[in-house]
A and B are shown apart, each in its own frame.
Chain A
């Protein structure tokens, strides 16, 4: 038989695991979009409502992400990032306002 101390430790561990599990379930999903070689990677991304997407610029040239009427980042220099939390479902098409051939979509479900 385990000692009372061990048993209470075990309960603690289970409680911790459950709380981790719960917080995991409720945590806001965070997803990254990398900017490399003038492309968004992934260019198409599906996330759940409430998720935060972070774009990170890994090019030696500044970029932006702009979704008309929805969100607009400041200019991101090398290694700068920008985050936006999606609170409503829908397809969010966005582009780089400096290099408009760079386009992407976030699908929020």
Chain B
């Protein structure tokens, strides 16, 4: 694994409330997640030896494919998405399903949604989507919901169970307030509280949404205004994993029983917080780009304490 790759196996060691594990990398294809005994752990990179050894249920996260983006930071975002799907198809262990944490398209055009679907469907996996702000900018704001809104509430939130893990897809990209950050809103928070009622505290929870639910860097809007309220409802659960996108780089933080993780984009990298005048697309040398794009894979092994997450760059 390269210098930016990381692995957060914490089994057998309690993570104190104050202990905050923070990693920052700029590269990536995807994160491989393993849910082991309730707590997701980073396994490392897709295709790595660890992924091959992973037992239990594995699912995949891709994010920020920005189909339609053609600017200097990556003139062919559809091409790199296709490369990411190729990586997924080459994985030694076929994931159970995939989640996409938003910004499927760049401009919410019908052709962009069509192209994204044409490529992503080549993985032949069920895909659970949540929208990014770029998926809601068609004139009538209907294309995302037509395609991915079935069986969802409000702007597209929902939950489902898989292998004893409860998955919750949230929407924090609508009805944003001037000067603010991402926003869940009262209706969604009430639904979340209700959704969690009666769930066993030992049931592992995976929450996924586009914008980070934790405050990464408010100066660039990287956080969710009412994210803390959502996390309040998740207190008491033994294992909570929060998977986000939006910031086009890997960051991880472990706080108590909550693991926060953001995935790489398959389209273009963005700078580390404060490292550039703005969070806009970061142009890097052509031979460096694929080291900064990627997917994530997550493995869940019953009996283990933590989900294993593997961030895999397209190259390197």
Contact = CB atoms under 8 A, between A and B. Distances in A.
Given A75-B107, A78-B71, A101 B281 contact: no
Contact of A62 (B72, B134, B176): B134
B223 to A, nearest CB: 10
B179 A60 contact: no
A62 B70 CA distance: 13
Nearest to A77: B107
Given A95-B179, A100-B176, A100-B177, A37 B137 contact: no
A55 interface: no
Interface string B91-108: 000000000000000111
Is chain B's binding surface mostly helix, strand, loop or mixed?
loop
A60 B107 CA distance: 12
A59 B280 contact: yes
Nearest to B281: A60
B181 A74 contact: no
Contact of A100 (B71, B73, B134, B180): B180
A103 B137 contact: no
B148 interface: no
A93 interface: yes
30 contacts: A37-B280, A38-B279, A39-B278, A59-B278, A60-B71, A60-B73, A60-B280, A60-B281, A61-B280, A61-B281, A62-B106, A62-B107, A68-B178, A74-B139, A75-B108, A78-B71, A94-B178, A95-B179, A98-B133, A99-B133, A99-B221, A100-B176, A100-B178, A100-B179, A100-B180, A100-B221, A101-B179, A101-B220, A101-B221, A103-B178
